[in-house]
C-alpha cells in the first residue's frame, strides 16, 4: 500500500482547485499523472509528488494553518489599529516568538512611519499580547519591559530602524501590522 498524505485538491469541470476554492497552479505531478478526468489528489510520501485518486479513497491527512503579516500603511491610533485588524483580518500582530518577529520584519520595514503598532499593550499592571500569547520573546529597547510606564505610553510599537519594541503614546497615529490566518 502507498504511504501518503492527502492534500486537499479536487478537479471539477476540468480545473484543479484547492479546498478553499483557489485554482491550483504550479502543480508538481508525478510522471504520468494525473490520469483521471475528475477526482482528488494526494501527495505520495516517498516521491513527494502529486497523484490523482478517487475522492472516496481514504488516506491519512493533515491540516495546515497558514498565517501571514500584512502592513497597513494608513495611520491609526493603537485602538484604531486594533479595531481595523480585528474587523478586516484577525488581530493586531503579536510578535511573541523570534520566528514571528522575523516573519513580520519585512512587512514592517516598508512603512513610512518610524514606528509600527504591534499587539503589545500595558493594562492593569502588566504588559501582554492582545491575542493572549506569552510574553517570552523580549526585544525591548532597554532589554526589559518598563514596569510602570507613563499613562500615555502604554502601547507597544516596533522601531523599524532598531527592530526593537518601544512604548508609545496610544493616541499617536502610526502604520500597523495585522496578523491573519486561514486553514
Q: What is the pLDDT of residues 133-163, one digit of tens each?
A: 877 666 655 566 677 787 888 999 988 888 8
What pLDDT score does 162 carry?
A: 86
Residue 85: helix, strand or coil by DSSP?
A: helix
Measured in degrees and rounded to the nearest 5, phi and psi for residue 87 equal: -80, -45
Superfamily of domain 66-182 in the CATH hierarchy: Mannose-Binding Protein A, subunit A (3.10.100.10)
Q: Using alpha carbons only, how large is the chain's radius of gyration in Å?
A: 22
Q: What cell was used for 11? A: 478537479
In terms of DSSP H, where are the helices of 8-158?
A: 78-88, 98-108
Residue 75: helix, strand or coil by DSSP?
A: strand
**Higher-scoring residue by pLDDT: 24, 110:** 110
Domain boundaries, the chain: 4-61, 66-182
Q: How confident is the model at residue 6 (pLDDT cuts 50, 70, 90)?
A: very low
Question: Given this chain, do its domains 4-61 and 66-182 carry the same CATH topology?
Answer: yes
Residue 77: helix, strand or coil by DSSP?
A: coil
* CA dihedral sign, ordered 161, 137, 87, 126: negative
Give CA–CA dist 177/49, Å, rounded: 36
pTM for the model? 0.63
Please provide the CATH number assigned to the domain covering 4-61.
Answer: 3.10.100.10
Non-local (6+) Cβ contacts of 103 within 8 A are 68, 69
Closest to 92 measured CA to CA, from 30, 153, 170, 35: 170
Amino acid at each position: 500500500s502507498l504511504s501518503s498524505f492527502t492534500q486537499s485538491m479536487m478537479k471539477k469541470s476540468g480545473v484543479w482547485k484547492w479546498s478553499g476554492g483557489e485554482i491550483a497552479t504550479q502543480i508538481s505531478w508525478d510522471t504520468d499523472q494525473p490520469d483521471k478526468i475528475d477526482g482528488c489528489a494526494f501527495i505520495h510520501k516517498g516521491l513527494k509528488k502529486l497523484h490523482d485518486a478517487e475522492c472516496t479513497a481514504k488516506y491519512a491527512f493533515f491540516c495546515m494553518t497558514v498565517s501571514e503579516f500584512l502592513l497597513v500603511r494608513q495611520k491609526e491610533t493603537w485602538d484604531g489599529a486594533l479595531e481595523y485588524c480585528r474587523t478586516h483580518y484577525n488581530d493586531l500582530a503579536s510578535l511573541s516568538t523570534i520566528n514571528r518577529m522575523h516573519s513580520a520584519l519585512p512587512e514592517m520595514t516598508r512603512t513610512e512611519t518610524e514606528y509600527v503598532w504591534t499587539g503589545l499593550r500595558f493594562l492593569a499592571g502588566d504588559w501582554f499580547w492582545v491575542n493572549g500569547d506569552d510574553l517570552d520573546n523580549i526585544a525591548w529597547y532597554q532589554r526589559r519591559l518598563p514596569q510602570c510606564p507613563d499613562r500615555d505610553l502604554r502601547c507597544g510599537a516596533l522601531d523599524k530602524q532598531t527592530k526593537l519594541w518601544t512604548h508609545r503614546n496610544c493616541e499617536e497615529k502610526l502604520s500597523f501590522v495585522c496578523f491573519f490566518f486561514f486553514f
